[in-house]
């Protein structure tokens, strides 16, 4: 799964979180600004100006690094595949990875037909990436939960689940605290496990390191937002900074810069807040207006309040 998909696919729900929690009109993730948005879902809130996908060929492949070292507990026993199951799996593999409208029902059908298949992880990972692309977050989370039950050390899924659960939190929901705690659990698990992984033979060193960094970036981002939601600003700040540090792409995720600015502002680190908001505002995205507003708010607070030492 590409990093851009992860950011724009969670943008709508994250925007709702910003509105519910901080009381201003939300902006979508910056990755949404440079790409088409995924298809709308009736199961969750959408931003006011939602676009339809212009080119399905740009949809990403499923996550990589999905078979970490060592054995992992299974939610249900696997059975040796029958010739028919092998044939059905090859048929599934032949579906282009960017054709999510065919891969999703094919994966669902395969799981229903072969509930104990050794190929379940591939199906769940397909459903995670596919449902995230369609912004069907509840279905994405359900598939992610099942994959984690099968492979507790699947760090890309752990990182993505931690970030998604944090970014799609509805603070008014009766299970908001449980969702926040689960986001914290998955993020911390990804951070703990990722450095211990052994490189799969089929990946180059660069591919392996990029996969690990992507998982860590998401995990630190999710955990930082958890701390921010809990009002633990002194923990949110270094965690979000670590997410940005782990980011090895040419352009950082403005969502993390925005959250870092917000955490610093809440902690009365006004100069640091201005610096983070300024970096966010310099990136072309739908967060620019909020980041520019954050700069002015932090500067105004700095002129009337004492800054706390970092």
Assess if residue 310 is contained within a domain.
Answer: no
How many domains is the chain partitioned into structurally? Answer: 1
pLDDT for position 307: 87
Mean pLDDT value of segment 242-250: 92
Global pTM value: 0.79
pLDDT for position 68: 40
| Alpha helical stretches, state H, the chain | 3-9, 11-22, 30-33, 83-93, 100-113, 120-133, 137-150, 155-167, 176-193, 205-229, 233-246, 254-266, 270-281, 288-304
Residue 244: count of CB within 10 angstroms of its CB: 19
Assess if residue 205 is contained within a domain.
Answer: yes
pLDDT for position 2: 52
| Contact between residue 56 and residue 40 where contact means Cβ atoms under 8 Å apart | no
The parent domain of residue 236 ranges over: 3-304
Best CA proximity match to 241, nearest among 207, 196, 273: 273
CA–CA gap between residue 227 and residue 241 (Å, rounded)? 13
CA–CA gap between residue 248 and residue 162 (Å, rounded)? 20
pLDDT for position 309: 83
pLDDT for position 161: 97
pLDDT for position 235: 98
Assess if residue 189 is contained within a domain.
Answer: yes
Q: What is the CATH number of the domain that holds 284?
A: 1.25.40.10
Best CA proximity match to 276, nearest among 222, 232, 224: 224
| Contact between residue 272 and residue 264 where contact means Cβ atoms under 8 Å apart | yes
Write the pLDDT tens digit of every residue in 137-148.
Answer: 999 999 999 999
DSSP string, 252-297: --HHHHHHHHHHHHHTT-HHHHHHHHHHHHTS-STTHHHHHHHHHH
Assess if residue 183 is contained within a domain.
Answer: yes
CA–CA gap between residue 4 and residue 159 (Å, rounded)? 15
How is residue 253 written in tokens? Answer: 């995720």
Assess if residue 297 is contained within a domain.
Answer: yes
Mean pLDDT value of segment 160-172: 94
CA–CA gap between residue 88 and residue 53 (Å, rounded)? 29
Assess if residue 309 is contained within a domain.
Answer: no
The tally of CA atoms less than 13 A away on the side-chain side of residue 79 is 7
């Amino acid at each position: 799964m590409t990093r851009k998909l992860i950011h724009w696919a969670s943008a709508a729900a994250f925007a709702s979180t910003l509105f519910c929690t901080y009381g201003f009109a939300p902006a979508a993730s910056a990755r949404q600004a440079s790409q088409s948005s995924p298809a709308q879902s009736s199961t969750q809130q959408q931003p006011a100006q939602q676009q339809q996908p212009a080119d399905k060929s740009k949809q990403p492949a499923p996550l990589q690094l999905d078979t970490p070292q060592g054995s992992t507990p299974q939610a249900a026993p696997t059975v040796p595949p029958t010739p028919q199951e092998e044939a059905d799996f090859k048929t599934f593999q032949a579906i282009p990875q960017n054709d999510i409208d065919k891969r999703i029902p094919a994966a669902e059908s395969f799981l229903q037909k072969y509930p104990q298949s050794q190929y379940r992880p591939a199906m769940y990972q397909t459903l995670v990436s596919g449902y995230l692309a369609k912004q069907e977050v509840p279905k994405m989370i359900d598939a992610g939960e099942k994959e984690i039950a099968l492979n507790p050390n699947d760090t890309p899924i752990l990182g993505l689940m931690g970030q998604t659960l944090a970014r799609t939190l509805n603070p008014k929901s009766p299970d908001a605290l449980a969702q926040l705690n689960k986001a914290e659990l998955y993020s911390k698990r990804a951070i703990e496990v990722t450095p211990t992984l052994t490189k799969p033979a089929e990946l180059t060193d660069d591919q392996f390191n990029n996969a690990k960094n992507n998982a860590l970036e998401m995990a630190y981002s999710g955990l930082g937002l958890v701390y921010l939601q809990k009002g633990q600003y002194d923990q949110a700040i270094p965690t979000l900074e670590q997410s940005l540090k782990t980011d090895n792409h040419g352009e950082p995720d403005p969502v993390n810069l925005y959250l870092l600015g917000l955490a610093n502002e809440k902690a009365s680190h006004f100069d640091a807040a201005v610096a983070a908001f300024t970096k966010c505002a310099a990136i072309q995205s739908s967060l620019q207006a909020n980041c520019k507003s954050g700069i002015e708010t932090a500067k105004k607070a700095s002129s009337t309040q004492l800054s706390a030492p970092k």
